[in-house]
Chains A and B, each alone.
Chain A
Amino acid sequence: MSVLLGVALFGPAALLVLDRRRTQQAGLGVAALWLVVGLVDSDATLGRFAAAGFPVAVGTWLLVASISWPATRAVTRLTVAAAGLAAAGGALAADRADAVGALALAAAVLVVAARLEADGALVPALVAVVGVALVALGARADGASTLVLLGGALAAGAAAWRARRAGVVLLPLVLLVTSLHPTLEWWHALVVGAAATVLAGRRPHVAGALWAVAAGALGAGALLLGATAVLLAAALHPALALTALPGLAVAVTAVADLHSRWSLVLAALAALTAVRLWRRPDDGALPGRPSDATVASVAIGAWLLLAPETWVSATALESWGTGALIAVVAGAVGAFLAASFTEATYEAPEVEVADPLYVERDPGWAWPASLASLAILAISGGALVASVVS
């Protein structure tokens, strides 16, 4: 299995010669390879790289497959390079400093990609770099976990801000790094949750990413909610928000165990976010054949919704699979009866959503500011390395 892990880690270098369309297809292939490696032997290692980080790699390469614009080779290559770094960072997550280092390198590569995209990507890239710099400062031996949380929220929000563009590949690794050491501070989760609520109306996938960060802060269902955030960013279909239910079940149990009145405020914010997120299932959906990345996202979402206990072991999910199985059988019988005795028709719902339009131009100050943020990132990374070495 170590050989396959090596192929999954370093094989994507071959994607650097492909055009955008083939990169999308190959990205799905790499995601599938990571999934096989993780499911067959998640204990496999190759040097310091571990297959246990496969969820990050699968999410990262799924997001690569979802990117459909621009078609320039330079941006595609930079995206592949950043995705490879991010997937490697996930495989190095046993040591948080290594993972943060990979995150910093990927963020730096994506600044160049944002410059080449030339459609308003630089400001989100700048925010992401600043966020990663804060994560690096907070991840030092004597660092503050508040910095990790704040930086993680900034970086996750900025990565998810431009779905189906290069910067989005940073999202899975940011979510992982943020959740590695929960701060267990209520105000962290409340601030991030409030930001998610504000953004939920216009940027549902950003709200999903921020709630995953909030869950990471409280150590509650971060993996499951992170998966939902990635699926939302990849497919953009509002119905995929339903995949947050298993994560919610785990989070409710964990939050209830903390016995705080603040949980009520958090619940109200989560409900308000859901109200602002809600869309009709056919709202914005496109007729026709969905893209491969969307099909893969829906398939993974169905797996998450029907059998989350195969993702994580949690008491809140013990009876989930049984209920889902009964619901599927009962739903099928209900469908048969409805088809027999009513005029109801069954049509597969449209699941493809159009690419978002990003029409802004990069402001003049964005590029110099991005270079300055990269310098800050280098200093933060240096401080992190120094703290680890000493």
Chain B
Amino acid sequence: MRPGHLDPAQNDVAEAVSAYRLMAAAAAVVLALAGRGSVLVLGGLLAVVAASRLASVSAVVAAVAVQLRWGTASLSAVAGGQAVLGPAVALGSTRAAAAMALAALTVALLAPRPAVLAVAVGVVAGAVAAGPEVPHDMGVRLAGAAAGTIVALAARWLPFRGPLALAAALLAVAAAA
């Protein structure tokens, strides 16, 4: 069989995987919006959504960067901190702010081609960059989600997204450490 021609069995597997990616995307959006749980659970879900070598690893590395920046793995603490102190990308030292901008950029670069998954990834990216706890600063939260979604939708057509995402994630860790 020539490359590019899927047999029905392979096609079934691809369909099944994409269904699980939809489930992971739904879970990631809810976690990011609710600001509950662990940032590494979110990273793991994004890794499933991304479903490719470099992008999946980048998702987890970006989650590690967020944990390092805030000194906690709790999404509740991350959202609460942003509600009190301001959006992560405009908070603290330049390095700390850059770390969160790079982490959010990493998440946006993970966006898969299907638009519904890209929107989900964009909402999560917005929460990383500017995601104060609901219902505080809803304007900031909505602006963050909108910006993240736009970047994620645009990033789908970027070449070399995988290496770029991994580089951004590692830089985020370096800046956050």
Binding site for B on A (CB under 8 A): 242, 245-246, 248-249, 252-253, 256, 261, 263-264, 267-268, 271, 274-275, 278, 281-282, 305, 315-320, 322-324, 326-328, 330-335, 337-339, 342-347, 349
Minimum CB–CB distance from A91 to chain B (whole Å) comes to 32
In Å, the complex CA distance between A256 and B78 comes to 17
Fill in one digit per residue for B83-100: 1 if any A CB lies within 8 Å of its CB, else 0.
000000000000000000
CB-CB contacts of B17-40 with A at 8 A, as 1s and 0s?
A: 111101111111111001011101
Q: A256 and B37 in contact (CB under 8 A), knowing A275-B53, A330-B27, A335-B22? A: no
| Residues of chain B whose beta carbon lies under 8 Å from any beta carbon of chain A | 12-13, 15-20, 22-31, 34, 36-38, 40-45, 47, 53-54, 56-57, 60-61, 64, 67-68, 71-76, 166, 169-170, 173-174, 177
Task: Please report the C-alpha to C-alpha distance between residue A335 and residue B174 in the assembled complex, in whole angstroms.
Answer: 37
Q: Is B60 within 8 A of A320, CB to CB?
A: no
CB distance from B70 to the nearest CB of A (A): 11
Residues of B within 8 A of A326 (CB): 27, 30-31, 34, 36-37
Indicate if the CB atoms of A245 and B44 lie closer than 8 Å: yes
Specify the chain B residue showing the minimal Cβ separation from A333: B26
Are B16 and A345 in contact (CB-based, < 8 A)?
Answer: yes
Contacts of B22 in A (CB 8 A): 334-335, 338, 342, 344
Q: List 15 A-B contacts (CB under 8 A).
A: A242-B44, A242-B47, A249-B67, A264-B177, A267-B61, A305-B44, A316-B38, A322-B36, A324-B41, A326-B31, A327-B31, A327-B37, A327-B45, A338-B19, A345-B12
A334 touches B26 (CB 8 A): yes
User: Which 9 pairs of residues, A with B, have the shortest CB-CB distance?
Assistant: A323-B37, A334-B26, A344-B19, A330-B30, A327-B27, A331-B23, A323-B41, A330-B27, A319-B74
Task: Note all chain A residues with C-beta closer than 8 A to B169.
Answer: 271
Interchain CB contact under 8 A, B177 and A246? no
Contact B37 A252 (CB under 8 A): no
A248 with B38, Cβ < 8 A, contacts A267-B170, A330-B31, A335-B19 known? no
Known: A267-B170, A315-B72, A323-B38. A345 touches B31 (CB 8 A): no
How far is it, in angstroms, between the C-alpha of A319 and the C-alpha of B43 when the chains are bound? Answer: 14
| CB pair B60 A274 closer than 8 Å | yes
Closest residue of chain B to A261 (Cβ to Cβ) is: B177
* A282 B61 Cβ-Cβ under 8 A: no
Complex formed: what's the CA distance from A6 to B73 in Å?
Answer: 40
- The reply to whether B73 and A249 form a contact with Cβ atoms under 8 Å apart is yes
Closest to A334 in B: B26
Q: List, in ascending order, chain B residues with CB within 8 A of A256's CB.
A: 68, 71, 177
Cα separation A256 to B72 with both chains bound (whole Å): 10
Cβ–Cβ contact A346 & B19, under 8 A:
yes
Rounded to whole Å, the gap between the CB of B175 and the closest CB of chain A is 10
Instruction: Provide the bound-state CA to CA distance between A302 and B73, in Å.
Output: 20
Asked whether, in the complex, the Cβ of A337 is within 8 Å of the Cβ of B75, the reply is no
List A contacts of B41 (CB < 8 A): 245, 320, 323-324, 327
**B-side contacts of A264, CB under 8 Å:** 173-174, 177
Tell me the minimal C-beta distance from A53 to chain B in angstroms.
28
Which chain A residues border B30 with CB–CB below 8 Å?
Answer: 326-327, 330
**In the complex, A263→B174 CA distance in Å?**
9
Docked-complex contact B40 and A245, CB < 8 angstroms: yes
Nearest CB in chain B to that of A345: its residue? B15
Min CB distance A350 to B, Å, is: 9
Chain A residues whose CB sits within 8 angstroms of the CB of B42 once the complex forms: 323
Contact B23 A338 (CB under 8 A): yes
Q: How many angstroms between the C-alpha atoms of A246 and B39 in the bound complex?
A: 11
Instruction: Write out the residue numbers on chain A whose beta carbons fall within 8 Å of the beta carbon of B23.
Output: 331-332, 334-335, 338
Question: What is the bound-complex CA distance between A358 and B170, given in angstroms?
Answer: 37
Complex: A19 Cα to B61 Cα, angstroms? 46
B164 to chain A, nearest CB (A): 14
